[in-house]
Amino acid sequence: MNAQSVQKEHWGAVKGKEVSLYTITNDNGMKMQIMNLGCIITSLFVPDKNGELDDVVLGFDNLQDYLNGHPSFGTTVGRYANRIKNAQFVMNDSVYKLTVAGDGTALHGGNEFQDAVWDAELISTENGDGLKFHYFSKDGSHGFPGNLDVYVTYLLSDDNAIYATFEADTDKDTHVSMTNHSYFNLNGAKELIYDHKVMIDADTYTEFDEDITPSGKLPPLKGTAWDLSTMTRLGDKIHDIPLNGYHHCYVLNKEAGEMKKAAEVIEPNSGRKLEVFTTQPGITVYASNGLEDITGKYGVAYRPHMAICLETQDLPDAMNHPNFPSTLLKPGKKYSETIVYDFGVLE
């Protein structure tokens, strides 16, 4: 990439802090737009089989619409992705009560990272050009213990891959699980996602209760309508699944910390494909089942099944289930996880 691959424009201000929109363009013309409010990916222009660019993520074209509230379009999620049952956990003989969402759980860390204006620094690496964001989450924020020093890096490579790295350290025992919450539609949101074909490398999932938090059981996917262990057209099974479609955390077939392909998505009409690699143990697949009454970019009315989220993460509510991989971060240790969204076209 060249020195002009990242451009910055003023998008507004939040609580006296400047919000900037950054545009990163690679040598193929692929373009990622991301702002320092919530480290939100606002647009992602990706070539199709004919080389034509389309924006393949949902979102808004102005800051105010994000400030009015939204279902985590493109945001960086933390301190803890997904739900925590009863909005609390016990650690070191203390009960920590967290910010409660409408369903009685703690959801996405109370949207702390989504609502924060992050510091941003332009960087250039062997994996591409992009931005390194920084945020300091104070001890007790949304009920979580420990001062958490957080860095998030988003890079765009010349082979049309996005590298997202999440890093944090703490001065007290705490729990951390971070992800990106982009809503993908590989046909540019021209149609619903029913023709998208998806494969997830997982044989088990986190069974959930009525509040969509894990029961603690990790049953097999085989025989369920939400089994995605082989390439599956989403429209074939989506209406047979409770909660109006896919909303499950899949336990990936991988070793702890191993960087491995977790998911593949194919959109046959545009010819686009997306491969997702991660070091994390799980991936929540959400088919935007509750999406409605929102007008997004280009005047498009968003509705259920308009997009699919592929949220690689630690398992939800892990601190309340000793049989789940631990999310405990201790002083002197570093939280570090990576996601790669690798875009291509069908051959």
What are the pLDDT digits (tens) for 93-116? Answer: 999 999 999 899 999 999 999 999
pLDDT of residue 347: 87
Given a contact cutoff of 8 angstroms between Cβ atoms, the answer to whether 320 and 299 are in contact is no
- Number of alpha carbons in the 13 Å side-chain half-sphere of residue 340: 18
pLDDT of residue 77: 98
pLDDT of residue 34: 98
- Does residue 181 have an active-site annotation? yes
Instruction: Answer whether the bond into residue 303 is a cis peptide, omega within 30°.
Output: no
pTM of this prediction exceeds 0.95: yes
The type of residue at 192 is: L
- Does residue 267 have an active-site annotation? no
What count of other Cβ atoms lies within 10 Å of the Cβ of residue 288?
25
Quote the longest CA-to-CA distance of the chain.
Answer: 59
pLDDT of residue 183: 98
Per the residue annotation, which of 181, 248, 305, 321 is the catalytic one? 181
pLDDT of residue 339: 98
Q: Which residues of the chain are under the pLDDT cut of 70?
A: 1-4
- CA–CA separation, 218 and 162 (whole Å): 30
pLDDT of residue 5: 85
Per the residue annotation, which of 112, 267, 311, 337 is the catalytic one? 311
What count of other Cβ atoms lies within 10 Å of the Cβ of residue 301?
10
- CA–CA separation, 307 and 297 (whole Å): 14
pLDDT of residue 2: 53
- Number of alpha carbons in the 13 Å side-chain half-sphere of residue 342: 14
Tell the burial category of 4 from Cβ atoms under 10 Å away from its Cβ (0-12, 13-18, 19+). Answer: exposed
